[in-house]
Amino acid sequence: MHQDTSRRFFLGAATAASAMRVFGANDRINVAIVGLGGRGGNHLSIYSRLAEARVSAICDINQAARERAQATLQRSTSEKAQEFEDMREAFANPGVDAVSIATPNHWHALAAIWAMKAGKDVYGEKPACHNIYEGLKMVQVARETKRMLQIGSQHRSTPFKIKAMAALHGGLIGKIYQSKGLCYKRRVSIGRKPDTPTPAGVNWDLFRGPAPMRAFNELRFRYNWHWFWDTGNGDIGNQGVHQMGVARWGLADPEWPQYVYAHGGKFAYDDDQETPNTLLSNFNFGNRELVFEVRGLLTGGEGVPATRRMRPPAGAPGATATPSPTATAPRSGAPLNVMVGNLFYGSEGWAAMNDEGFQAFKGESNELIMEERGTRAEGGDTTGLHMRNFLAAVKSRNHKDLNDEIASAHLSAGLCHLANISYRTGRKLTLTSGPKFANDAEANKLLTRDYRKPYVV
């Protein structure tokens, strides 16, 4: 697609009309969903069930995806949404109040910026951005336009995690000196595939967007775009950014570290993937640190205390240990074995968290002092809670009501980007204000990207 000046109109007239609308307590917010793949399908399903929202528009560069989404929406609501191939036309539509973005990573920032400049509030999938420069621009535009910009880090709206974090910040295990994130999510080899003609109904130019144009390849399209630097950020910026956000949360959300060092590689496989499947990163914040590990190969978990590793559930035959009277009564009986989750280490004990729950231990004896059952163990999904938090802020017009507003979320993504930059340059990097790297032009270049016109942030 060549640059078309007629596309620019949505940045002006549409902005004023959208900004003027004031929502009542019972008003439904018209939402456009942009990106209708796997995660976009979740967005469609959840918004369709929320009383506060109405799916008024759907947008995807793939005609087949639009058709599937339209059929799903009609089955669930008996309503039909307007369809768009180009997100800019959806943003210009006065029947759209807010936008929910579930595109590939390389589109997150530009889509959100375009939407905010068109007067729309935005719920954007994680990671907030594809690079650090984009995150800074998103914060800037959100403040300039006074739009709500929530990032889809639903752990920030998960009740048991909120309760656990309050306890940690209150000194449950003393002063936390290390926060650790684990992303041991099994990933099989993607193999190799040749380039092919673009399938009918797919606008490959729009899919590539800010990224360099390449011939169509199936491995660079559905989901596997995560494993190429042009469009994704590896698993640290895919699954891992959730655990990175929780790790920052455990440290009370610090900003940029003093230095970062990451090393790893793409081991075991001979395929077309560019990003590492094994990555160990360290972020130093002075008197505390954040450690993050990605491991996509066969592995075990971490976090089970030695004194409880073989302990049977309370009341079971052979059970000999009794939890502290001050502890929440264990519901599962089994200690957490963390594969995808977080560990926290303090001056008086340590704690483990994943979607199954939270456990904290104190002292040399690993005494269980707190346990909370997780949402997944109860069969729930907190994405809906996170979206309801977003919709409430759309009505209140106060970005401080958001549970993971862009000012915090871009820092969680930023740590993932810092790790990738250290890995790609092969060295420890010292940060200065900005953030920038001290005396390192190669690393500083990776803070942003070369954008393909007209898709420029």
For 19-63, the DSSP string reads: HH----TTPPEEEEEE--SHHHHHHHHHHHH-TTEEEEEEE-SBH
pLDDT of residue 91: 98
Looking at the predicted structure, is the pLDDT value of residue 331 above 80? no
pLDDT of residue 18: 52
Q: Which amino acid is at 79?
A: E
Looking at the predicted structure, is the pLDDT value of residue 390 above 80? yes
Q: How many residues does the chain have?
A: 457
The pLDDT-based confidence of 380 (bands split at 50, 70, 90) is: low
Q: In terms of pLDDT, which residue wins out, 307 or 298?
A: 298
Q: Quote the tokens at residue 105.
A: 């990573």
The pLDDT-based confidence of 311 (bands split at 50, 70, 90) is: very low
The pLDDT-based confidence of 375 (bands split at 50, 70, 90) is: low
Looking at the predicted structure, is the pLDDT value of residue 454 above 80? yes
Residue 104 to residue 102: CA distance in whole angstroms: 7
Q: Which amino acid is at 217?
A: N
The mean pLDDT of 357-371, rounded to a whole number, is: 96
pLDDT of residue 306: 57
Contacts of 423 (CB under 8 A, 6+ apart): 262, 263, 264, 276, 279, 281
Looking at the predicted structure, is the pLDDT value of residue 445 above 60? yes
Contact 88, 12 (CB under 8 A): no
Contacts of 353 (CB under 8 A, 6+ apart): 161, 164, 246, 336, 338, 341, 342, 343, 344, 359
Contacts of 274 (CB under 8 A, 6+ apart): 227, 228, 229, 266
Looking at the predicted structure, is the pLDDT value of residue 11 above 80? no
pLDDT of residue 112: 98
Domains and CATH numbers, the chain: 5-156+381-406 (3.40.50.720), 159-209+220-378 (3.30.360.10)
Looking at the predicted structure, is the pLDDT value of residue 201 above 60? yes
The mean pLDDT of 187-210, rounded to a whole number, is: 98
pLDDT of residue 101: 98
**pLDDT tens digits along 123-146:** 999 999 999 999 999 999 999 999
Looking at the predicted structure, is the pLDDT value of residue 455 above 80? yes
φ, ψ for residue 101 (rounded to 5)?
Answer: -105, 125
The pLDDT-based confidence of 323 (bands split at 50, 70, 90) is: very low
- Percent composition of the chain: helix, strand, coil (DSSP 3-state, to 5): 35, 20, 45
Q: Quote the tokens at residue 437.
A: 């790297």
The mean pLDDT of 414-421, rounded to a whole number, is: 98
Q: Of 10-14, 66-70, 214-218, where does mean pLDDT reach its minimum?
A: 10-14
- For the chain, give the mean pLDDT: 90
* Nearest by Cα to 232 from 219, 244, 245, 243: 219
pLDDT of residue 344: 98
For residue 195, CA distances in Å to 105, 167, 253 come to: 22, 52, 43
**Taking the mean position of all CA atoms in its chain, how far away is CA 303?**
23
Looking at the predicted structure, is the pLDDT value of residue 327 above 60? no
- Residue 400, judged by CB atoms within 10 A of its CB (0-12, 13-18, 19+), counts as exposed
The mean pLDDT of 407-413, rounded to a whole number, is: 98
* Nearest by Cα to 178 from 302, 343, 408: 343
The pLDDT-based confidence of 23 (bands split at 50, 70, 90) is: confident
Q: Of 239-253, 257-271, 362-376, where does mean pLDDT reach its minimum?
A: 362-376
Q: Quote the tokens at residue 321.
A: 């240990």
Phi and psi based region of residue 274 (left: phi greater than 0; alpha: psi -120 to 50; beta: remaining): alpha
Report the share of the chain in percent with pLDDT over 70.
88
* Nearest by Cα to 358 from 346, 369, 347: 369
pLDDT of residue 25: 72
The pLDDT-based confidence of 367 (bands split at 50, 70, 90) is: very high
The pLDDT-based confidence of 253 (bands split at 50, 70, 90) is: very high
pTM: predicted TM-score of the whole model, two decimal places: 0.91
Residue 403 to residue 422: CA distance in whole angstroms: 30
**pLDDT tens digits along 99-112:** 999 999 999 999 99
